[in-house]
Chains A and B, each alone.
Chain A
């Protein structure tokens, strides 16, 4: 079970920026339980987007956005609607957003912050992809997580230590920022690298009181 909380609507709209045509994608797994995904959250987001003057090229609920094969197969059926869109707004956890980014060559925006990996983890495992930092940055990094893919969890770009695209810590491991750079270049978003990221707010990693009090979070007590 992965715990997520909706990003403030203003933050989501800011990240969509000038993009007009949006494909809305929600998860029916853990995210539905947290009310960040599922039908209800999808319809609520749809209303917000329409209010903000956005056009939806399509909308879809998928049972487990953390299942890469399932997502790739399901999204293939929506190819035209996704092609039409400027970007995909993904209503799920950090693992799900990274799956979508991996299987579709489109800009992805997370609508939620992942705050805890709880007990059962996402199917496209898991804490090596998402550390539940509570302040999802996948939006700016082309759907590749700088917290988990960079050995130093750097937010403002690569250190000077990568060699031949490999990390200074392990020559078998790709430099996360090299992957991010290549991805952003591919989706035409290199200007994202110019954004200054403030220092992380580590208190966001703690699940909020209301989340802690859900029976789901307490289920293993």
Chain B
């Protein structure tokens, strides 16, 4: 089912990120999702997240589909030129995948193959436009596709914490014009700042899903503040997490996430949970957040 249908139904949409493994034991990753079967609308499979070599998004999405999970296939511009990307889009349709999330992608220098050639033949806006073209039966060169064109719900990303914010919003508008139908964001910890962002993009009338990343430790929060663009974990949250002993840390972390979800819920149309290995805790957090 296309994610856009859920938004149309007025549902508060919940998606959960799935990171394929480095190695071929995908079953383990998929088995962990079982408790989320009826709690999460779709599973968003990363495309070599952080430029680290892993199993591909397309294959993992297909496996999810076979187990009756709804996949969202992430597609980045980092590793394939327009031939490769368009071909993978067609392949996704052949494999029954109905949701695509188009992103620029991290630079290879951030990952475990820093010597790789950065492709970026297309950028995220051009990729969205290319997929939209395929959905209209034409490839980027203007050639007709044979038979029925593929159909997808198209997602994109935006960073509400970017400074300056204005160019992010301008690019967001271009993404919508190119075909994006929903957005997911970078991790959010500042509720007011996020509400302000949502207010600024209200006129675009597009579903936005707030990004939730579980804070595993005060150290992780500090690391993100120093190294992850547009993400700022306020001191109050770091102190709160540090106020309990290690044995209570998971519980506290989940409590913080659940509270954030409750507070963010008013300003957006859904949440996108990036559990980063804590998939087993997602169900609890959703319950605590009343979802």
The interface residues of chain A lying within 8 Å CB-to-CB of B140 are: 199
Asked whether A194 is an interface residue with its Cβ less than 8 Å from the other chain, the reply is yes
Q: 1/0 contact trace for B153-190 toward A, CB 8 Å? A: 00001110011101110110110011000000010000
Determine how close the nearest CB of chain A comes to the CB of B78; give it in whole angstroms. 8
> B24-32, B114-122, B258-266: which lies at the A interface?
B114-122
Determine how close the nearest CB of chain A comes to the CB of B122; give it in whole angstroms. 5
Q: 1/0 contact trace for A173-192 toward B, CB 8 Å? A: 00001100100000000100
Determine how close the nearest CB of chain B comes to the CB of A17; give it in whole angstroms. 19
Contact between chains at A193 and B167 (CB < 8 Å): yes
Asked whether B74 is an interface residue with its Cβ less than 8 Å from the other chain, the reply is no
- Complex Cα distance, B186 from A201, in Å, reads 31
Contact between chains at A160 and B230 (CB < 8 Å): yes
The interface residues of chain A lying within 8 Å CB-to-CB of B163 are: 164
**Given A152-B104, A152-B107, CB of A158 within 8 Å of CB of B171:** yes
- Complex Cα distance, B124 from A177, in Å, reads 15
> B10-18, B89-97, B125-133: which lies at the A interface?
B125-133
Q: How many residues of B contact A (CB 8 A)?
A: 38
The interface residues of chain B lying within 8 Å CB-to-CB of A161 are: 106-107, 229
The interface residues of chain A lying within 8 Å CB-to-CB of B106 are: 161, 168
Residue of A nearest to B164 (CB): A181
The interface residues of chain B lying within 8 Å CB-to-CB of A199 are: 82, 121-122, 126, 130, 140
The interface residues of chain A lying within 8 Å CB-to-CB of B186 are: 160
Asked whether A153 is an interface residue with its Cβ less than 8 Å from the other chain, the reply is yes
Asked whether A156 is an interface residue with its Cβ less than 8 Å from the other chain, the reply is yes
Asked whether A169 is an interface residue with its Cβ less than 8 Å from the other chain, the reply is yes
Asked whether A37 is an interface residue with its Cβ less than 8 Å from the other chain, the reply is no
Contact between chains at A152 and B230 (CB < 8 Å): no
Contact between chains at B174 and A194 (CB < 8 Å): yes
**Given A162-B162, A199-B126, CB of A156 within 8 Å of CB of B174:** yes
The interface residues of chain A lying within 8 Å CB-to-CB of B170 are: 157, 190, 193-194
Residue of A nearest to B104 (CB): A159
The interface residues of chain B lying within 8 Å CB-to-CB of A202 are: 121
Contact between chains at B229 and A151 (CB < 8 Å): no
Of the listed residues A169, A178, A190, A197, the one surrounded by the most CB atoms of chain B closer than 10 A to its CB is A169
**Given A181-B164, A193-B167, CB of A198 within 8 Å of CB of B126:** yes
Residue of B nearest to A180 (CB): B167
Asked whether B255 is an interface residue with its Cβ less than 8 Å from the other chain, the reply is no
- Complex Cα distance, B170 from A125, in Å, reads 32
**Given A153-B120, A161-B229, CB of A169 within 8 Å of CB of B107:** yes
Contact between chains at B123 and A155 (CB < 8 Å): yes
Contact between chains at A162 and B129 (CB < 8 Å): no
Q: How many residues of A contact B (CB 8 A)?
A: 29
Contact between chains at B107 and A168 (CB < 8 Å): yes
**Given A193-B170, A198-B126, CB of A163 within 8 Å of CB of B230:** yes
Contact between chains at A154 and B104 (CB < 8 Å): yes
Residue of A nearest to B107 (CB): A169
- Complex Cα distance, B128 from A196, in Å, reads 12
Residue of A nearest to B127 (CB): A199
Contact between chains at A196 and B125 (CB < 8 Å): yes
Contact between chains at A154 and B162 (CB < 8 Å): no
Contact between chains at B126 and A162 (CB < 8 Å): no
Contact between chains at B177 and A196 (CB < 8 Å): yes
Please pick, from A151, A156, A157, A196, the residue contacting B107 in the complex, using a CB distance under 8 A. Answer: A151
Determine how close the nearest CB of chain B comes to the CB of A185; give it in whole angstroms. 9
Determine how close the nearest CB of chain B comes to the CB of A2; give it in whole angstroms. 24
Using CB atoms and an 8 Å cutoff, list the residues of chain A in contact with chain B.
Answer: 151-164, 168-170, 177-178, 181, 190, 193-194, 196-200, 202
29 A–B contacts, CB within 8 A, in A order: A151-B118, A152-B104, A152-B118, A155-B126, A156-B123, A156-B171, A157-B167, A157-B168, A157-B170, A157-B171, A158-B168, A160-B104, A160-B158, A160-B186, A161-B106, A161-B229, A162-B162, A163-B230, A169-B107, A181-B167, A194-B174, A196-B174, A196-B178, A197-B125, A197-B126, A198-B126, A199-B82, A199-B130, A202-B121
Known: A164-B163, A198-B129. 17 other contacts (CB 8 A): A151-B107, A154-B120, A155-B123, A156-B126, A156-B174, A157-B125, A158-B162, A158-B171, A159-B104, A159-B124, A160-B157, A163-B229, A169-B110, A177-B167, A196-B129, A199-B122, A200-B121
